[in-house]
Chains A and B, each alone.
Chain A
Amino acid sequence: QKEVEQDPGPLSVPEGAIVSLNCTYSNSAFQYFMWYRQYSRKGPELLMYTYSSGNKEDGRFTAQVDKSSKYISLFIRDSQPSDSATYLCAMSGTGNQFYFGTGTSLTVIP
């Protein structure tokens, strides 16, 4: 079983839609949860980070963590064509390593 599972998509939505991206994980020691955005032929960039359970909002983006279900989500409100990218979840415990999902490819159609 992989440490982190993420549906690779692809996901295609019309502009203005609410997007929901999700990951599940198996390691209950994970405490830190991150979402990265990766444009084509670029390196990932950190979008949001959350510690333990709860919600965190930043503009149009909301990150949600449910540790009891080992499930994390990223919501994008009022999606824009510029949001078209691959979104990777990542998580870590107390060590040096970060565990990444496979990424979900998102296309927002104008």
Chain B
Amino acid sequence: GAGVSQSPSNKVTEKGKDVELRCDPISGHTALYWYRQRLGQGLEFLIYFQGNSAPDKSGLPSDRFSAERTGESVSTLTIQRTQQEDSAVYLCASSVRRPAPQETQYFGPGTRLLVL
């Protein structure tokens, strides 16, 4: 069965350029999360979508970061004017319902972003 997929798997960009990362959640999953995983650090919550409700953007580190999701389908995370400190693995996860530890989050393989 199809799991969470992310594209691209790797992205190298120059400082100052914009990048767009894509996440395809598992079909039927209403909740979707974006995380950032920097080298040697834990997963850092970025944003959460639940169905058609307003997203929880409380984890976005700056206004250069934004994300969209249409309904319960694909989500895109956009980073504008990338900086070297944006280099990280960006992970997407989806779950059937609202976030709860017993509601398993299924993670994608991540997009490895390197900003030169």
Residues of A whose CB lies within 8 Å of any CB of B are 4, 6, 8, 32-34, 41-46, 49, 51, 88, 90, 92, 96-103
Per-residue CB contact flags for chain B residues 52-73 toward chain A (1 = under 8 Å, else 0) read 0000101100000000000000
The interface residues of chain B lying within 8 Å CB-to-CB of A88 are 42-43
Secondary structure type dominating chain A contacts:
strand
| Cβ–Cβ < 8 Å partners of B93 in chain A | 43
Which of A4, A33, A43, A46 has the largest count of B CB atoms less than 10 A from its CB? A43
Binding site for A on B (CB under 8 A): 4, 35, 40-45, 48, 56, 58-59, 91, 93, 98-102, 104-110
New contact pairs (5) apart from A45-B106, A96-B56, A97-B48, CB-CB < 8 Å: A42-B107, A43-B91, A44-B107, A96-B58, A97-B59
- A97 neighbours in B (Cβ, 8 Å): 45, 48, 56, 58-59, 99
CB–CB A103/B48 < 8 A:
no
| Complex Cα gap A102–B42 (Å) | 4
The residue on B at minimum CB distance from A33 is B101
Say how far A5's CB is from chain B's closest CB, in angstroms: 10
The answer to whether A43 and B4 touch (CB under 8 A), given A96-B48, A97-B59, A98-B99, is: yes
Among residues of A, the one whose C-beta sits closest to the C-beta of B101 is A32
Query: In the complex the two chains form, is A43's CB within 8 Å of B110's CB?
Result: yes
Given contacts A43-B4, A44-B43, A102-B41, contact A96 B99 (CB under 8 A): yes
Q: Which residue of B lies closest to A32 (CB)?
A: B101
Q: Which of A42, A46, A88 has the most CB of B within 10 A?
A: A46
Set of chain B residues within 8 Å of A41, measured between Cβ atoms: 109-110
Complex interface: chain A residues within 8 A of B104 (CB): 46
Residues of B within 8 A of A45 (CB): 106-107
